[in-house]
Structure 1
Amino acid sequence: MHHKKQHKKNNPWIPAMVTILLFVLIGLEGHLLFAPHDTAPATKKETLETTQSAIDRTQDAQIASNFNQEVQPTSDLAQQINQQLEDNSFIGTALVVHDGQIILQKGFGYANFAKKQVNTPQSLFQIGSIQKALTASLILQQVQAGKLSLDETLDRFYPTIQESEKITIRQLLSMNSGLYQKEKPSLMMSDEAFLQFDIANAAMGTYGQFKYDAINYYILVGILEQLTGMSYQKSFNQTYIQKLQLFHTLSYNDFLHSKDRTVAYENVSGKDYGTEIADKPLVFKQEIGTGSIAMTTGDLYLFFSNFLSGNIIDKETVDSFWTSETLRKFAGGMYNYKNYIRAHGIEEGFEPNVYFSKDKQDAVILLTNQYPKNHSNTLLGKTIFDLLGSYEN
């Protein structure tokens, strides 16, 4: 019997399918290389929240990573500002925003002179009293939520403090209570023990008279903890680290162990870095809510931008606090002017200066780790800010 030899026929569609498959693979590779890499499809709620959180931010501020990058001066204005910083022997990191764009962001001098580690946009500086602005915002959140009134009196929370039946939350925020602290802690304690010690040492000077004293904000921290049922640090983390994603904002302990920390110095006889100022955990850790965190220039910018955009507190609540009586005065951790705000702090060699327009278009942030005792950095910051626009005192 003869069997016919079977020949395999070439299917004409196979080359076509191979070609199509190649195009699909090439297209997929291109998508993976150049398309945004979302780990999961965004839900409608997530999309709305993301869109809402970006409202009123400047183009550069929408991408927080921009604040980790150096921006050299290219425009004539930016070069003029850079020259002023150099002429004034500024040491630290400077961030300048004009018309909603970063025009200068760079470090000057050393973060650690002994290690020859220079200051950069990633450098962390203690912000001192500017933390009071972040604490005031947490209190104003409670006002917005209806859990507290600006005109409520202190005796609801601390009836044993002298004249607490007359002192209002508004007065504490503006330091018009007349209170002062009789004694400061001399031993290391827990945060709760520090607060108890501070509040127990609150005393009345002249009621209703402005007196810049941290006791007002220690009391506000205690009130916040009573209202929320959680520690100040937890409230702080929920609002600023988790919600606003200020990942370059560190507690004092974390600051001490960060590779991006700066060391504070004192100019001695005209010599920069003349004396290294030693770390002082007791000094900083007792400043709960008033001066115990470190930030980069970028994170500090993002705080004020979000504050003015209504992403932390709504405009109605801010306006109820920023009345005409607060103009050119300390109010809620900052100084309120007609079309801009100013914030300042000094602590153990560190000095932050912030000037920020209320329309969020212009900002100057100078963070230094060598505080000049002639206050020249405050004047320098205002001089630079005035170059950006017309701002009324």
Structure 2
Amino acid sequence: MASLIIWDEAPMDNMFAFEALDRTLRDVMAFQNPEAKWKIFGGKVVLLGGDFRQVLPIIPKGSRQDVVQASISRTSLWTECKVYTLRKSMRVIEGEGSEQKQQRHRLFNEWLLAMGRGNLEASAEDNEEEATWIKIPEQYIGSLGELELKKVVAEMYPDFDFKHNDENYLRERAILTPLNETADFINNYMAGLLPGDEVTYRSCDEICSSSTECEDHFTSYPTEYLNSLVLQGVPHHELKLKVGMPVMLLRNISPVRGLCNGTRLIISRLGQFIVEGKIITGSKVGHKVMIPRIVMTSSDTKIPFVLKRRQYPLRPCYAMTINKSQGQSLNHVGVYLPKPVFSHGQLYVAASRTTSPEGLRFYIDDREQVYKGHTRNIVYKEVFNNLPN
């Protein structure tokens, strides 16, 4: 009965997902109309939204060629798509304020687009085949050289002792970094600054019985080993929370109530079997909701089984990874780079989360780099071959 299907952040998904949807819709719609079997998506209108300058599909241990080949622009369905290009930034608006402010915003947007396309002047360090090191303009530099986390936090979260409970204060700022370990380290540091008692919630872990045919697996891996696993997209075994801490939801629980993957909340109460939070982003801002423990499974191919972890689908978000920040809009963005980015579009995603050029700051450890004040900007330019300029 659907007349329109909308798929957001489409460039992040593997092309096989779209081909699977195409075949499924053809089969479903063919029951009513045999001709639908020969129509793309069974004749349904599908709107794919996204930006190829942002992060592409994640292929574990995949090469550059693997990532590009997994992109939606490489599927046979792409030739049937009509491409519409948005020309106006919805975050950094150019047509408001004084003429000087409009000019500043226009130049910032042009710089962002050039970064996303890989068109900024770049340099190559020793033994590098491709020039990827770009200079960050001085007005966006927070600090260079040895990065002292205390100073970074003081600049990104000023007057934290007095404003740690302010919803607007927490909603409009975050520190972005490429690695989960770095984000966890910053969040633990910030949790130490937050007054109040810390509550630790431990998960219940087990091996999914359908993921292995060997019964020995259930006895070969002790519970302590399962608890120690840190897997992408799954909360840690030990989740440490405090009242007043901002957290991000890791799963779609109830979209109608605003509980979607990526929604940010502030913890308002910590119970024994439930966590209460107040939504600070999205369409349900201000609503108080209850978050239950849910069972989440991993898709990590590094382990020979599927792990089932029963835990609250939450993660502290004073700092978050660049990949997880997609879709967020922030007034103050600190891009914390003790190590450079490592994948296509990450630097563009981090820089484009801000709603104004004044709110963007880069923190770069360039002590071991040839080019000072530079950072790596990785762009797979071949992914744009089938796209309009």
Higher-strand-fraction structure: 2
Fold-level similarity (TM above 0.5): no
TM range (shorter): under 0.3
Higher-helix-fraction structure: 1
Give the greater-gyration-radius structure (CA).
Answer: 1
Normalised by the size of structure 2, how large is the TM-score?
0.24
